[in-house]
Chains A and B, each alone.
Chain A
């Protein structure tokens, strides 16, 4: 198992290098630059040129990349041009909010999604299954910003149970977590249901039924356990999304987070911040995928054997 993990970690190095090139080039190839955002009315073309030079934007793109990468491997993500702080500080300010919101939403969508999906599979083709699937369809199609506003209207304005927005109290997390989590519930429940229905048709399940093992024991003990493989894959892919995918919800609930930081900085072409945020998200996706692979390898010895 250790060898498996080491091999997978080594594979991440060229992936990381390739991602750093793609991120840097993408950010710099998008039209626009950050100087227009900081230029004051009255600035002369010479003053503009001085600003461009100050931030090294007059250098060839390859030189800029080498400088950025050299600093980055030493742990220095540079300073934000617009926000005028070290990028690492900005990420450190926003990351805890993203982690809290994303991880709670992931836990919520995992627990509720697996439960709903499993029950829908067990009671397939009944009114319960159809009801759950209808709700899932709704959950996966309603835009999160609209769902967020509905949540605010109901739970904050009408009932007054939670604050409308902000990140000052723990209770302010409830509505954003529900808003994001409900979208995830739909995905997890759908994957769980389909996987369980697929597993339920396998020979070993038929054999368990033939041996007279109780239905609930088969469904929860064998079918659900085997159906977790695709669910783990889906969840591992969502780890990156946890950090950066909640932009609309962060916007509606006026919460800080990496997603909002990334979008705001992208609009202003604050290159160092965009690069830093994208790098964080890429690392999260890579680690999430690695975690998913490890979990799958733990669950299925054939995968471990395949890596040898």
Chain B
């Protein structure tokens, strides 16, 4: 029996050695194109950076990762607990982890890391943490100033990748530009901002999370991320084999790419949402009935079908479908209802003429509809203009560049309606866009409401646990929906494409976008 067990063990070892050598033999260079939104990220410094790209998730491990279903899974932290009052967190750290420069990762790293955020643009990530205490070499305790149920979510973001203290302090302001050192599955070899980033595999890597099949070194030996701003060029690079994978595929190119032999296009739920903020302080939208009418005039299914070929989803709340706080009562969802829109305008005193246009006391119902430059924005805006006209609202379109449009919003009284989008994965986006502290921009709706402020503050600071936070943000979200301060429009999908001859990409993406957990499992043919 002992001999059989030994042989079995020897056989298993041989098989695994063969498999590993097989993977090593096929490991090759892979070139990918970064998503358009990530082009121009200036640094790989997660502490001070405000725009980071996906390569950051490969250089740095995080304490934990978030799955597509919003659940958390340990990476540098193996387990964690929080007291009932939310005032103390204890994290157990993964043993045997080293940075790319050979420095050990341990509790002292965390004690150095958390205070580094103070005074940076990312300070809010850790501002609820009063102190970090080293319990032992692999255990730390956070004592909080106030409960922060969003702490895990923050720690799972790219901005909380853990850098090597020695390298970080040595490089000073140049950190992230001249070099970047983490514990992740890839090491930074070179970085030319706006052009390309080259990563090489960390052969000593063993920190793969539960979200990856592969817990060890990546199958890709050398990974180049190119930054190509023009979609046509990126597509032609993929078609000719100049690159192996596009991490984002624009909606206009999806059908063309799907028709190409040798290319696989995969779509997954998106993180973006198009919406139309309504300036609540400028007539006629200071009347909630008119706001509601404008919101109900937006025909989301038509936009989804005609502009996007049915790919994506209608938006009927302010949050993307993946967020738990987006699961509001059905009757509060804002959906196309032209008859109700017309009735509301009638009730508000806006009388329809024979040609369908409306006026009140001799004033025609003509409103400003702003949008930013770019084909997609202009197309959606033109459709919405037609949809508003169908209920009697004449909208005049103005196109501005993104920086100028923000400046115009800050004048507070110049705008009425606008078409905008955001890409974000946390319900606190509601606070960003509707807080009375940020009127003009980003609160384009210019909305101040005592009840809303009470609910917002409760959602932001009055929750002790994640579940409580979900409940509080859902209540705030539901109230926002009742006031028609915006009209939801459309939720795009995310798409990526790769050459089937070159790569095998996992079918299930265990994240809200393709990042480190997926890269560990990508195999080169």
A residues neighboring B (CB under 8 Å)? 30-33, 36-45, 47, 51, 80, 82-85, 90, 93, 149, 152-153, 156-157, 160, 163-167, 251-254, 256, 260-261, 264, 267-269
Q: Is the CB of A42 within 8 A of B431?
A: yes
Q: In whole angstroms, what is the CA distance A115 to B403 when docked?
A: 46
Known interface pairs A41-B424, A157-B240, A254-B226. Does A83 touch B193 (Cβ–Cβ under 8 Å)?
Answer: yes
What 9 pairs between A and B have smallest CB-CB spacing? Answer: A32-B403, A31-B407, A31-B404, A254-B228, A83-B42, A32-B407, A38-B50, A41-B432, A164-B237
Known pairs A44-B437, A164-B237; list 15 more (Cβ under 8 Å).
Answer: A31-B407, A31-B408, A36-B406, A40-B122, A41-B424, A42-B431, A84-B177, A93-B193, A164-B242, A165-B233, A167-B195, A254-B226, A254-B228, A254-B230, A256-B192
Q: List 17 A-B contacts (CB under 8 A).
A: A32-B401, A40-B121, A41-B426, A42-B432, A44-B437, A47-B123, A51-B121, A82-B42, A82-B51, A83-B42, A84-B177, A85-B42, A157-B239, A163-B242, A164-B240, A254-B226, A256-B194
- Chain B residues lying within 8 Å of A32, measured Cβ to Cβ, are 401, 403-404, 406-407
Q: Is the CB of A165 within 8 A of B228?
A: yes
- Chain A residues lying within 8 Å of B432, measured Cβ to Cβ, are 41-42
- Chain B residues lying within 8 Å of A36, measured Cβ to Cβ, are 403, 406, 441
Q: Is the CB of B192 within 8 A of A33?
A: no
- Chain B residues lying within 8 Å of A80, measured Cβ to Cβ, are 42
Contact of B429 with A by CB under 8 A: yes
User: What distance in Å separates the Cβ of A184 from its nearest Cβ neighbour in chain B?
Assistant: 22
- Chain A residues lying within 8 Å of B406, measured Cβ to Cβ, are 32, 36
Q: Is the CB of A40 within 8 A of B50?
A: yes
Known interface pairs A40-B122, A44-B437. Does A160 touch B240 (Cβ–Cβ under 8 Å)?
Answer: yes
- Chain A residues lying within 8 Å of B177, measured Cβ to Cβ, are 84-85
Contact of B112 with A by CB under 8 A: no
Contact of B43 with A by CB under 8 A: yes
Q: Is the CB of B233 within 8 A of A253?
A: yes
B:423-458 near A, CB below 8 Å:
424, 426, 428-429, 431-432, 437-438, 441
- Chain B residues lying within 8 Å of A82, measured Cβ to Cβ, are 42, 51
Q: Is the CB of A269 within 8 A of B403?
A: yes
User: What distance in Å separates the Cβ of A146 from its nearest Cβ neighbour in chain B?
Assistant: 10
Q: In whole angstroms, what is the CA distance A84 to B230 when docked?
A: 24
- Chain A residues lying within 8 Å of B50, measured Cβ to Cβ, are 38-40
Classify the interface of chain A: helix, strand, loop or mixed: loop
Q: Is the CB of A45 within 8 A of B42?
A: no
- Chain A residues lying within 8 Å of B401, measured Cβ to Cβ, are 32, 267
> Which residue of chain A has its CB nearest to the CB of B159?
A40
> Which residue of chain A has its CB nearest to the CB of B173?
A84
User: What distance in Å separates the Cβ of A249 from its nearest Cβ neighbour in chain B?
Assistant: 11
> Which residue of chain A has its CB nearest to the CB of B460?
A42
Contact of B236 with A by CB under 8 A: yes
- Chain B residues lying within 8 Å of A260, measured Cβ to Cβ, are 194
Q: Is the CB of B403 within 8 A of A40?
A: no
> Mask for B49-66, Cβ within 8 A of A = 1, else 0?
011000000000000000
Q: In whole angstroms, what is the CA distance A157 to B240 when docked?
A: 6
Contact of B88 with A by CB under 8 A: no
Q: In whole angstroms, what is the CA distance A198 to B194 when docked?
A: 48
Q: In whole angstroms, what is the CA distance A38 to B228 when docked?
A: 22
Which of B42, B43, B192, B403 interacts with A93 by CB under 8 Å? B192
Which of A30, A41, A261 interacts with B404 by CB under 8 Å? A30
Q: In whole angstroms, what is the CA distance A84 to B229 when docked?
A: 20
Q: Is the CB of A45 within 8 A of B438?
A: yes
Q: B43, B121, B408: which has the most chain A beta carbons within 10 Å?
A: B121
Q: A33, A36, A93, A253: which has the most chain B beta carbons within 10 Å?
A: A36
Which of B51, B229, B428 interacts with A251 by CB under 8 Å? B229
Contact of B232 with A by CB under 8 A: yes
Contact of B18 with A by CB under 8 A: no
Contact of B86 with A by CB under 8 A: no
Known interface pairs A42-B428, A264-B194. Does A252 touch B124 (Cβ–Cβ under 8 Å)?
Answer: no
- Chain A residues lying within 8 Å of B122, measured Cβ to Cβ, are 40
Q: A30, A40, A269: which has the most chain B beta carbons within 10 Å?
A: A40
Q: Is the CB of A149 within 8 A of B232?
A: yes
- Chain B residues lying within 8 Å of A45, measured Cβ to Cβ, are 437-438
B:95-125 near A, CB below 8 Å:
121-124
- Chain A residues lying within 8 Å of B43, measured Cβ to Cβ, are 84
Known interface pairs A84-B177, A264-B40. Does A43 touch B121 (Cβ–Cβ under 8 Å)?
Answer: yes
Q: Is the CB of A84 within 8 A of B403?
A: no
Contact of B402 with A by CB under 8 A: yes
Known interface pairs A33-B407, A165-B228. Does A252 touch B233 (Cβ–Cβ under 8 Å)?
Answer: yes
- Chain A residues lying within 8 Å of B242, measured Cβ to Cβ, are 163-166
> Mask for B190-204, Cβ within 8 A of A = 1, else 0?
001111000000000
Known interface pairs A32-B404, A267-B403. Does A251 touch B230 (Cβ–Cβ under 8 Å)?
Answer: yes
Q: In whole angstroms, what is the CA distance A85 to B193 when docked?
A: 10
B:365-417 near A, CB below 8 Å:
401-404, 406-408
B:206-236 near A, CB below 8 Å:
226-230, 232-234, 236
Q: Is the CB of A41 within 8 A of B428?
A: yes
Q: In whole angstroms, what is the CA distance A84 to B43 when docked?
A: 8
> Which residue of chain B has its CB nearest to the CB of A248?
B230
> Which residue of chain B has its CB nearest to the CB of A83?
B42
- Chain A residues lying within 8 Å of B402, measured Cβ to Cβ, are 267
Q: In whole angstroms, what is the CA distance A8 to B10 when docked?
A: 85
- Chain B residues lying within 8 Å of A33, measured Cβ to Cβ, are 403, 407
B:128-145 near A, CB below 8 Å:
none
User: What distance in Å separates the Cβ of A20 from its nearest Cβ neighbour in chain B?
Assistant: 23
Q: Is the CB of B233 within 8 A of A254?
A: yes
User: What distance in Å separates the Cβ of B434 from its nearest Cβ neighbour in chain A?
Assistant: 12
User: What distance in Å separates the Cβ of A50 from its nearest Cβ neighbour in chain B?
Assistant: 9
User: What distance in Å separates the Cβ of B263 from its nearest Cβ neighbour in chain A?
Assistant: 14
> Which residue of chain B has its CB nearest to the CB of A82?
B42
User: What distance in Å separates the Cβ of B410 from its nearest Cβ neighbour in chain A?
Assistant: 9
Known interface pairs A30-B404, A83-B193, A84-B42. Does A166 touch B226 (Cβ–Cβ under 8 Å)?
Answer: yes
User: What distance in Å separates the Cβ of A38 from its nearest Cβ neighbour in chain B?
Assistant: 5
- Chain B residues lying within 8 Å of A41, measured Cβ to Cβ, are 424, 426, 428-429, 432
- Chain B residues lying within 8 Å of A261, measured Cβ to Cβ, are 194
